[in-house]
Amino acid sequence: MYNKQDCMPEWENNENTVIECKWLASIVPDKRKIWFYTFLRIVFAALIVFAGIRSNPLALPSDLLRLFLVLLIVALVLIWVFFPLIHLKDYMIFFNTGIEINKRKYNLGDLGEIIFLEHKSGIFSKYYMRTDVKDFNITYMKDVRKTFNRAYLHTI
């Protein structure tokens, strides 16, 4: 996935001096959270299916349009249930010159002020790292704020 020796290209600061790039820290996805969220979605979808089967016995749709609609709903539910699994490949690497997030590299100067936000919707929370470039969804990454503080602020 990534290597400690991989580094952002050297860049020049305002005084036209080259700053050497050093690896500071890296973050991997929180696999427990990803699998837990996927499990909860499976349970929720199963409860909905069983409630539907209990009230209406299973029968094949009588025409092609209804069959297509049922297959479309099943496909959308499967996509929704297994969506958290795409985050198993997420990663973040902190360098002294910038941050690499999922194969995209950003210079610290371009990112501007970095703020960590929590957005609650129902029982689940989403976490974001807000920068001048964009808001990065870091919900499925492990200890981003703590690792960021250790890498750049030398605090916990």
Q: Could you read off the pLDDT of 19-74 as tens digits, one per residue?
A: 677 889 999 999 999 999 999 999 999 998 887 776 666 666 677 777 788 789 88
Note whether 38 and 30 are within 8 A (CB): no
**How far apart (Å, rounded) are the C-alpha atoms in residues 87 and 144?**
15
Domain boundaries, the chain: 11-29+91-153, 33-84
**How far apart (Å, rounded) are the C-alpha atoms in residues 82 and 29?**
16
pLDDT cut 70: percent of the chain above it: 81
Q: How far is CA 70 from the centre of its chain?
A: 30
The structure tokens listed for 152 are 């750049």
pLDDT at 78 over 90: yes
Note whether 129 and 119 are within 8 A (CB): no
Average pLDDT over residues 7-25: 62
pLDDT of 7 reads: 59
> Where is 40: in which H helix or E strand?
helix 31-55
**How far apart (Å, rounded) are the C-alpha atoms in residues 155 and 152?**
8
Question: Strand order in 92-95's β-sheet?
Answer: 23-27, 92-95, 98-101, 104-107
Which residue has tokens 């976490």? 127
pLDDT of 61 reads: 64
The structure tokens listed for 23 are 């690896």
pTM: 0.75
Average pLDDT over residues 146-156: 83
Residues 124-134 pLDDT 10s: 788 999 999 99
Q: What phi and psi values does residue 122 have, to the nearest 5 degrees?
A: 75, -135
pLDDT at 151 over 60: yes
